[in-house]
Amino acid sequence: MQRRTVLGWLAFGPFFAHVHAQPKSMEGVKKMQDNWKTFLAPGTPVPSAAEPLKLGKDEWRKRLTPAAYDVLREEGTERPGTSPLNAEKRAGVFACAGCGLPLFTSEMKYESGTGWPSFFTTIPGAFGTKTDFKILYPRTEYHCARCGGHHGHVFDDGPAPTGKRYCNNGVALKFIPQSVKG
């Protein structure tokens, strides 16, 4: 390892380890899931999955960018490595770009090396699933519990303790940074 790399990890490694520390147990995951609202500013309106959002195709096209429409409404896939959210490191919440439903927190995100934002767990109740056979091999597709928008696929090759990798299209997400409390 090069000297600069070692010095960089000595200086910044503890910071990154703290920001991206993953829970060592399922109890830690549960606590993380239960505390997701702490990533939002007090009084932030939070849509509920119990309040479905159903719009016609024309309304969705007005609301979404063409790329987001393709992914969320047509079950498309963005090219890997194209989303700025793949490199997002700030504390905050990742919400559905279609309806604003909170889906993940920054604590749930990890670098999978796939080129898409990846998460090892979700905010409870955020998604529904179905089996997808588009590539002839069965995969578990997940979609927003509020608007039905397609987000990606979940795989069993993620980090402990969940072993899950929610591989999400970045255009299907919007990032809400955590407010700085002063």
Task: Let me know if 167 is exposed, middle or buried by CB neighbors in 10 A (0-12, 13-18, 19+).
Answer: buried
CATH at residue 75: 2.170.150.20
Query: What domain range includes position 137?
Result: 3-40+51-177
pTM: 0.85
Q: What is the pLDDT of residues 34-88, one digit of tens each?
A: 999 999 888 888 999 999 999 999 999 999 999 999 999 999 999 999 999 999 9
Whether residue 163 lies inside any domain: the answer is yes
Q: What is the pLDDT of residues 160-180, one digit of tens each?
A: 999 999 999 999 999 999 976
Do the Cβ atoms of 144 and 96 come closer than 8 Å? yes
Quote the pLDDT of residue 17.
34
- Distance in angstroms (rounded) separating the CA atoms of residues 40 and 46: 9
Whether residue 151 lies inside any domain: the answer is yes
What is the tally of structural domains in the chain?
1
Whether residue 182 lies inside any domain: the answer is no
Q: What is the pLDDT of residues 81-118, one digit of tens each?
A: 999 999 999 999 999 999 999 999 999 999 999 999 99
Quote the pLDDT of residue 137.
87
Whether residue 46 lies inside any domain: the answer is no
- Report whether pLDDT(22) > 90: no
| Residue positions annotated with a catalytic role | 167
- Distance in angstroms (rounded) separating the CA atoms of residues 99 and 168: 16
- Distance in angstroms (rounded) separating the CA atoms of residues 182 and 179: 9
Quote the pLDDT of residue 4.
40
